[in-house]
Structure 1
Amino acid sequence: MSNQKTDGLKTIMVCAETDIPTDGSVITRSVEGQQIALARHNPGSKRVIAFESRCPHMQAPLKFGRVVDGEVVCPWHFFRFDTETGNTIACPNSEMHLATFTVEQRDGNVLVQLNSESSDRAVSQ
């Protein structure tokens, strides 16, 4: 596992790029004690995105959702969230917000930025 700290952020290697499905499905990894969801920005895309693993509406596990065009769809009530901004789609009065994470793809690995205040724990699947 690779950790780098810069400006209050910690960059952590969470998996290989090949671990991320190319069909719009979502996987999760436990990173520094929190579950993070990872997916491709669009089915077949090389770009990887990361966001919190539970829907802020009723805590549905987003690993059972789908990502298309950078939007994750909750499997329970079909709420949609922009995976870059965390904003809800087609629900302008909603105060729900999905936490998102900056992703770096380097040397075939996926790295995610977290606040450096998190304690150092291993990444697990």
Structure 2
Amino acid sequence: MEDDYKKWLAQFRKGYIELCTLIALKENGSMHGVVLMRFFSDMELTINEGTLYPLLNRMEQNGWLESSWNMPKSSGHPKREYKISSKGEKILPKLIETYDAYNKTLLNLKGRKDDN
């Protein structure tokens, strides 16, 4: 049973984190991956690098994000900065609408009394 739960959770989290990422970048502008992880942590959504970076790459391949390399003015190494793309901007309202509809259904199901 634990393996089944872990598989389900992994799939659920992927879509949920994609949605949260699009919202975060739309509301806050472009961010580096590390900054995005800290932002999510502040929102009590823990994401590790092994989850976030493949997800960001996949979202960029899908055209939902764009990235560019930010060269530091002083010392340090270049960092990739992510922002929501126009395609991401267009799909975000539909994703939010779908999430809200599913969440409403879940809340309705949980609130139902057993009629038997």
| TM-score, normalised with respect to structure 2 | 0.26
Q: Between Structure 1 and Structure 2, which shows a larger proportion of helix residues?
A: 2
Determine which structure has greater relative contact order: mean sequence separation of CA pairs < 8 Å that are 6+ residues apart, divided by chain length. 1
- Structure with greater Cα Rg: 2
Q: Between Structure 1 and Structure 2, which shows a larger proportion of strand residues?
A: 1
